[in-house]
């Protein structure tokens, strides 16, 4: 599962192209959070996840739970690159009967481990997966990606407290700290103050990285897997840019949940190196 930094960056670039295509095609969806998370999900699947794309329901697989389930294009793009679904399936995003439902759904899409879309639920579900792995005496892990706005949901902290209490060292969280939520910047909607201190005080192992620097991403994933951090749950706080890779979407709350028009789509394809200007 070893990949060079360049290979991972190219993988993430291809996924970014698919994300923008999906949202443009559907004229709906969530590009901002997909573009902020995608370097992390791509690196996780390409280098860490113990999964079998041809046998997606293999019982002893690692789990990945996209708790910010609206940012589904980012996950669908990675699942297509990994071979869980066909690239053709990406065209079904938000289409009636489609494999790629608006929010990730375990009943519809191979490789999706939890039907998310309602914030604050994935960490609890991941805790259940981690508890099951421990009961089974299995080495499998539960990786959960949450968003920063999502941390405003109280149930996230129920789960954070419970997972640390039960010392679930096989529970690994990645926080996509992109600083923007639906209506506006998080700082305007609900200030969260010292996020690393919050998780530390709940009994978690904590590390911060730049979530778009692939070398730091790999260091962060090393941290999550490190034996010395398997005494309890760990969280990787990845500082990201909402809309990363498409200039007009970057740090722009308007592209939390909006699709580019044809002109903007073309510009995005140019910026992502997919077409020549």
Partner 1 sequence: MTRMAATRDGYGQALLDLAENPKVVVLEADLGKSTKSLHFRKAHPNRTISCGIGEQNMLLVGAGLAASGYIPFASTFAIFTERAFEQMRNGVARPNLAVHLCGSHGGTHTGTDGSSAQSIEDLAVFRTLPNVTVLHPSDDVSTRILTKRLAQTNSPSYMRTARNKTPVLYDDTDPESIQIGKGITLKRGSDVAILACGVLVSESLDAAELLQQEGIHATVIDMHTLKPLDTELVNELVDTCGALVTAEDHNVIGGLGSAVAEHLVKNTFAPLEMVGVQDRFGESGQADEMLEVMHLSARYIVDAAKKAIARK
Interface with partner 1 (CB under 8 A), residue total 32
| Edge-to-edge strands, sheet with 234-239 | 63-66, 142-147, 171-177, 234-239, 205-210
Cα separation, 234 vs 231, in Å, equals 9
Q: Is 169 left (phi over 0), alpha (psi -120 to 50) or beta?
A: alpha
Q: Which of residues 116-135 bind partner 1 (CB under 8 A)?
A: 117-118, 120-121, 124-133, 135
Which of 142, 249, 269, 272 is in the footprint of partner 1 by CB under 8 A?
A: 142
Residues 153-192 that bind partner 1 (CB under 8 A): 154-155, 158-159, 161-162, 165-166
Query: How far apart are the C-alpha atoms of 234 and 223, rounded to whole Å?
Result: 8
Rounded-to-10 torsion of CA 145, 150, 152, 156 = -40
Position 17 contacts partner 1 (CB under 8 A): no
Torsion of CA 47, 50, 55, 58, to 10 degrees: -160
Q: Report the DSSP pairing between strands 63-66 and 171-177.
A: unpaired
Shortest distance in whole angstroms from residue 131 CB to partner 1: 6
Among 136, 183, 188, 225, binds partner 1 (CB under 8 A): 136
Q: Is residue 49 a contact point for partner 1 (CB under 8 A)?
A: no
Closest separation in Å from C-beta 180 to partner 1? 24
Query: Taking CB under 8 A as the rule, does residue 96 contact partner 1?
Result: no
- Regarding 106 and contact with partner 1 (CB under 8 A), the answer is yes
Token pair listed for 151: 């941390």
Provide, rounded to whole angstroms, the least separation between the CB of residue 61 and partner 1.
Answer: 10
Q: Which residues would be at the binding site for partner 1 (CB under 8 A)? A: 59, 105-107, 113-115, 117-118, 120-121, 124-133, 135-136, 142, 154-155, 158-159, 161-162, 165-166
């Amino acid at each position: 599962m070893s990949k060079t930094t360049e290979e991972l960056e190219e993988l993430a670039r291809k996924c970014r192209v698919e994300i923008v295509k999906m949202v443009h095609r559907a004229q709906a969806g969530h590009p901002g959070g997909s573009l902020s998370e995608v370097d992390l999900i791509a690196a996780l699947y390409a280098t860490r996840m113990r999964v079998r794309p041809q046998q997606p329901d293999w019982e002893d697989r690692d789990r990945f739970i996209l708790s910010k389930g609206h940012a589904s294009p980012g996950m669908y793009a990675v699942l297509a690159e990994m071979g869980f679904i066909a690239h053709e399936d990406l065209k079904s995003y938000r289409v009636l009967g489609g494999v790629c439902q608006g929010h990730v759904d375990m009943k519809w899409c191979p490789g999706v481990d939890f039907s998310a879309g309602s914030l604050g639920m994935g960490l609890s579900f991941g805790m259940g997966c981690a508890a099951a792995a421990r009961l089974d005496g299995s080495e499998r892990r539960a990786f959960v990606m949450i968003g920063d706005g999502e941390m405003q949901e109280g149930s996230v902290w129920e789960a954070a407290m419970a997972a640390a209490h039960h010392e679930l060292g096989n529970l690994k969280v990645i926080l996509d700290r992109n600083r923007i939520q639906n209506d506006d910047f998080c700082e305007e909607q609900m200030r969260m103050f010292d996020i690393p201190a919050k998780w530390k005080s709940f009994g978690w192992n904590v590390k911060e990285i730049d979530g778009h620097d692939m070398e730091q991403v790999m260091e962060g994933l090393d941290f999550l897997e490190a034996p010395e951090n398997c005494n309890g749950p760990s969280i990787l706080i990845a500082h990201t840019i909402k809309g990363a890779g498409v200039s007009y979407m970057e740090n722009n709350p308007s592209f939390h949940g909006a699709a580019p028009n044809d002109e903007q789509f073309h510009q995005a394809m140019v910026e992502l190196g997919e077409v020549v200007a």
